[in-house]
Amino acid sequence: MKDSIMHLVRSNIATLEPYQSARRIGGNGHTWLNANECPISSPFTTNITSFNRYPESQPKNLISSYANYVHLANNQILATRGADEGIELLIKAFCDPGEDSIICCPPTYDMYAINASILNVQVKEIPTLKETWKIDLENIQRNLNKVKLIYICNPNNPTGNLISKKDIINLLKITLGLTLVVIDEAYIEFSSKYSMVNFLQYYPHLIILRTLSKAFSLAGIRCGFTLANKEIISILNKVISPYPISTIVADIATQALSEIAIKKMKSRVLKLNCNRDWLIDELKKISLVKKIFNSHANYILVKFHMYKKIFQKLWEKGIILRNQHHKINLKKCLRISIGSDSECLRLIEEIKILSNI
């Protein structure tokens, strides 16, 4: 059975390491601090009762609501099945397989490179500078040949740092007319003044990715947005599947973008940012902690003495973190999502216990 199909698989898929999503890694946890989800859920209901018709391809109310939230025009917005679909659509639309490349700057979100590999598009990895996590502009500039897309994550996952506006603008200047620049703003609500949305009017090759999965607390509905100038959005509209946003998703996402829901989101963000500062203060007192990286998002990257034991022991106690040790420049690092008050407390208590043995 196996032999009769395996030779049919594309060779880049046969050798592909799939994305190690938090759900795929598993664990028997009750304290999930490994997927940067929001620990506080806000309930939604839907009044829609009939589902016999296909949804609108790009639900108008949803698009207008997001346009209103980011102060852009409707034709500058594409709704997608999570920001992840936006990452993929861009490569599908702009990169010739076996010919073009993307640039990404590790340590960063893995899905840029994984989507490129699936589509047989080459990945040029240009690491950020160690510990300052600045993008290596000179190295990027030297490697632009055949590059169609540059993915920058801001704030960066998993390091938590921001890329300065000055560096992003310099990147936009050196790439104008050569490649597109994609800023992944999945966590931007946690540092909202650093968004590049206002720069779309100056840079035709700027693209911004957004999601409802993190600050909006809606990872379960799978809804994201690609923001760009209208020419880019119409190209992506050619490539996206006909009905990417289900009727229920559109309804709930639109509710989540009402004025009152946005207010709630903002207060959740303030709360999580406080929890983050509390967690950092507490971790500073623990001797097993080697270094805490500055974070502008709802997670922190921490370098530990005995990182493996800490990861394992917490796992056994149902506290699930994300191991980053295998990534470039992240030896002995674990990423911790910011949880609720009680989750943060528990985490600190358990790490304290471990540092006493």
Strands of 105-256, DSSP E: 122-125, 147-153, 180-184, 206-211, 224-228
Closer to ligand PLP by CB, 334 or 351: give it: 334
Closer to ligand PLP by CB, 337 or 346: give it: 337
Closer to ligand PLP by CB, 337 or 351: give it: 337
Closer to ligand PLP by CB, 323 or 351: give it: 323
Q: How many CB atoms lie within 10 A of CB 265?
A: 20
Tell the smallest beta-carbon distance from residue 299 to ligand PLP (Å).
Answer: 9
Give helix 341-355 / helix 307-316 axis angle, nearest 10°. 120
Tell the smallest beta-carbon distance from residue 287 to ligand PLP (Å).
Answer: 30
Cα gap 114→120, rounded to integer Å:
10
> CA dist 326 to 35, 67, 215, 252, 305, Å?
17, 39, 27, 37, 15
Closer to ligand PLP by CB, 67 or 79: give it: 79
Q: Which amino acid is at 322?
A: R
Tell the smallest beta-carbon distance from residue 20 to ligand PLP (Å).
Answer: 13
Closer to ligand PLP by CB, 289 or 300: give it: 300
Reduced to 3 states (helix: H, G, I; strand: E, B; else coil), residue 32 is: strand
> CA dist 53 to 71, 313, 328, Å?
31, 50, 48
Closer to ligand PLP by CB, 82 or 160: give it: 82
- Binding residues (CB under 6 A) for ligand PLP: these are 36, 82-84, 109, 153, 157, 184, 186, 211, 213, 219, 224
Tell the smallest beta-carbon distance from residue 352 to ligand PLP (Å).
Answer: 29
**b/e map 229-248, b = 16+ CB within 10 Å:** beebbeebeeebeeebbbbe
Query: What does the DSSP 8-state code read for residue 28?
Result: -
* Residue whose beta carbon is closest to ligand PLP: 82
Tell the smallest beta-carbon distance from residue 90 to ligand PLP (Å).
Answer: 12
Tell the smallest beta-carbon distance from residue 36 to ligand PLP (Å).
Answer: 6
Residues facing 30 on adjacent strands: none
Cα gap 93→345, rounded to integer Å:
46
| Beta pairing class for 224-228 and 206-211 | antiparallel
Tell the smallest beta-carbon distance from residue 18 to ligand PLP (Å).
Answer: 15
Tell the smallest beta-carbon distance from residue 84 to ligand PLP (Å).
Answer: 3
| Beta pairing class for 299-304 and 122-125 | unpaired
Tell the smallest beta-carbon distance from residue 6 to ligand PLP (Å).
Answer: 30
DSSP 73-136: -GGGEEEESHHHHHHHHHHHHH--TTT-EEEE-SSS-THHHHHHHHTT-EEEE-PPPTTT----
Closer to ligand PLP by CB, 218 or 314: give it: 218
Closer to ligand PLP by CB, 76 or 213: give it: 213
276 Rama class: left (phi>0) / alpha (psi -120 to 50) / beta = alpha
